DNA sequence: CGAGTATCGTTGGCAGTAACAACTAATGTC
DNA sequence: GACATTAGTTGTTACTGCCAACGATACTCG
């Protein structure tokens, strides 16, 4: 055990350096892409979150409100309101669930699918322009790396029990507010 | 030119596939990390955007409101309000700019720096845990890829003239709202 | 069966995010 | 010194996101 501990300590220095670099790089990436999404998606008729919801419904098919919330990592109340907006704008609709009178089935309308596909095409087109400057061999690798990172982050940050989060180790003092 | 065009067409198929895969992977990554940030940062006393602002001021030093807005890719009015919150909570302060009576100099307070460093340490620690499962050779590569992607996206999505965005080619019809 | 409990989704309330437009005050420019 | 420009703030609107409370339905077990 002491050997392992020593080794782990040795690794820690470089690991922390890497973690810091990754953190910094990811911050930048997130910022730019959030900006891009605001900028592009909001040129149309819906907000970014609304578009994510539309995407989820369009790609994965009809869904209950709760599973949509889980997929989007949103609170159920937020999901209700996001769907409200989509319904109001005619891009989604709610149907009663025949199996459970409490639940609703959410699905996209034809207009919703059309809009989603249009936005999606544009976003992908933008990625294509960006990738065009990359070495073809790197392109695939980049996606692989992102996917791996996303998977790892999903597993680690979105605590196993699906919705429950903020494990006891969260922060050290001012945790009370949201994690109490 | 026709040869180039033909070649470009040939490339387009694989390029589009790659773009689609990247788009999808990035969507997931963004979603998980946004969730993580909400979850971790909001355990403390500030919101995600407020933390980004704090970070910018702590890492890059005092700054005018406008350059902070540019760095965060936010509207100047949003920036004003984000800073309002930080000032109210005692993490930042505004000082008059001796060179220009219209401008203000924004800087973090000691409490602000302390809070930022604490949050930052935690976020980096989380990345380290995540990276621990990665092959050491891959770790560095991952960061490189993310950095490259962020740079390319910055250059491409954040149109050259710093703040001006939504070029004429944006979307095709419903552009009016924000880009008119 | 029927009381108690759990779950599904909605609503209310609050703070924050984000944009555009209009505005004030200070600078520049001619 | 008039006129446009720039820096930052404020007003307005819509959306995000959380927690808590609620009504309605479903489950459970005595």
Give pLDDT, residue B171. 32
Most confident of B111-120, B142-151, B156-165: B111-120
For residues A94 and A141, membership in a common domain is answered with no
CB pairs under 8 A between A and B: 218
Which residue's structure tokens are 């730019």?
Answer: A32
For residues A49 and A94, membership in a common domain is answered with yes
For residues A52 and A122, membership in a common domain is answered with yes
Give pLDDT, residue B3. 56
Cα separation of A14 and B134, whole Å?
13
Angle between helix axes A48-60 and A76-88 (nearest 10 degrees) is 90
Could you tell me the two tokens for A19?
A: 């973690």
Give pLDDT, residue B170. 32
Other CB atoms closer than 10 Å to residue A156's CB: what's the count?
16
Give chain B positions within 8 Å (CB) of A142. Answer: 22, 145, 148-149
Task: State percent of chain A over pLDDT 70.
Answer: 81
Which residue's structure tokens are 């004429």?
Answer: B168
Q: What is the mean pLDDT of residues A124-153?
A: 85
Instruction: Decide if pLDDT at A12 tops 70.
Output: yes
| Cα angle A63, A69, A74; round to 5 | 160
Q: Could you check: is the Cβ of residue A102 within 7 Å of any atom of nucleic acid strand C?
A: yes
* Residue A128: its H or E element: helix A110-132
Mean confidence (pLDDT) of chain B? 80
Task: State percent of chain B over pLDDT 90.
Answer: 39
Contact B19 A140 (CB under 8 A): no
Could you tell me the two tokens for A151?
A: 């998977």
Instruction: Decide if pLDDT at B163 tops 70.
Output: no
Residues paired with residue A93 on neighbouring β-strands, in sequence order: A107
Could you tell me the two tokens for A32?
A: 């730019």
> Residue B135 — very low, low, confident or very high, per pLDDT cuts 50/70/90?
confident
For residues A10 and A31, membership in a common domain is answered with yes
Give pLDDT, residue B11. 57
Beta-carbon contacts of A30 under 8 Å, excluding residues fewer than 6 positions away, are: B30, B33, B34, B37
For residues A51 and A123, membership in a common domain is answered with yes
DSSP state string for A70-118: HHHT--HHHHHHHHHHHHHTTSEEEEEETTEEEEEEEEE-HHHHHHHHH
For residues A53 and A88, membership in a common domain is answered with yes
Domain range holding A2? 1-41
In a domain, residue B5? The reply is no
Beta-carbon contacts of A170 under 8 Å, excluding residues fewer than 6 positions away, are: A179, B39, B40, B43
> Residue A6 — very low, low, confident or very high, per pLDDT cuts 50/70/90?
low
For residues A129 and A48, membership in a common domain is answered with yes
For residues A115 and A153, membership in a common domain is answered with no
Q: What are phi and psi of A44, to 5 degrees?
A: -95, -150
Instruction: Decide if pLDDT at A139 tops 60.
Output: yes
CA to C1' distance (Å), from B37 to D21: 27
Q: What is the mean pLDDT of residues A125-145?
A: 83
Q: Count up the domains in chain B and report the number.
A: 1
Q: Which of B19, B89, B176 should we substitute to test contact with A (largest number of A Cβ atoms within 10 Å)?
A: B19
For residues A96 and A124, membership in a common domain is answered with yes
Nearest CA in chain B to A127: B19
Most confident of A26-30, A39-43, B174-178: A26-30
Which CATH number belongs to the domain containing residue B57 in this structure?
A: 1.10.10.10
* Residue B100: its H or E element: strand B100-108
Could you tell me the two tokens for B15?
A: 């390029």
In a domain, residue B11? The reply is no
Which residue's structure tokens are 């407020």?
Answer: B50
Any A CB within 8 A of B111 CB: no
> Residue A126 — very low, low, confident or very high, per pLDDT cuts 50/70/90?
confident
How large is the C-alpha radius of gyration of chain B?
20
For the ranges A110-124, A146-160, B70-84, B105-119, the lowest mean pLDDT is seen at A146-160
Cα separation of B116 and B113, whole Å?
5
Give pLDDT, residue A64. 94
> Residue B58 — very low, low, confident or very high, per pLDDT cuts 50/70/90?
very high
Any B CB within 8 A of A29 CB: yes
For residues A10 and A34, membership in a common domain is answered with yes
Instruction: Decide if pLDDT at B83 tops 90.
Output: yes
Could you tell me the two tokens for B177?
A: 């709202």
């Amino acid at each position: 055990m002491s050997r392992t501990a020593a080794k782990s300590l040795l690794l820690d220095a470089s690991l922390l350096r890497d973690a810091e670099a990754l953190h910094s790089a990811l911050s930048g990436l997130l910022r730019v892409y959030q900006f891009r999404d605001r900028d592009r998606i909001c040129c149309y008729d819906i907000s970014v979150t609304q578009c994510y919801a539309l995407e989820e419904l369009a790609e994965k098919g009809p869904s209950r409100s709760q599973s949509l919330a889980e997929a989007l990592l949103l609170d159920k109340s937020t999901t209700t309101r996001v769907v409200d907006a989509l319904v109001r704008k005619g891009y989604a609709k709610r149907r009663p669930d025949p199996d459970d009178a409490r639940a609703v089935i959410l699905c996209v309308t034809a207009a919703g699918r059309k809009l989603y596909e249009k936005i999606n095409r544009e976003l992908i087109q933008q990625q294509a322009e960006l990738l065009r400057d990359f070495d073809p061999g790197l392109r695939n690798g980049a996606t692989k790396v992102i996917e791996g990172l996303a998977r790892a982050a999903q597993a680690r940050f979105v605590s196993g029990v699906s919705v429950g989060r903020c494990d006891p180790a969260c922060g050290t003092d001012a945790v009370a507010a949201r994690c109490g």
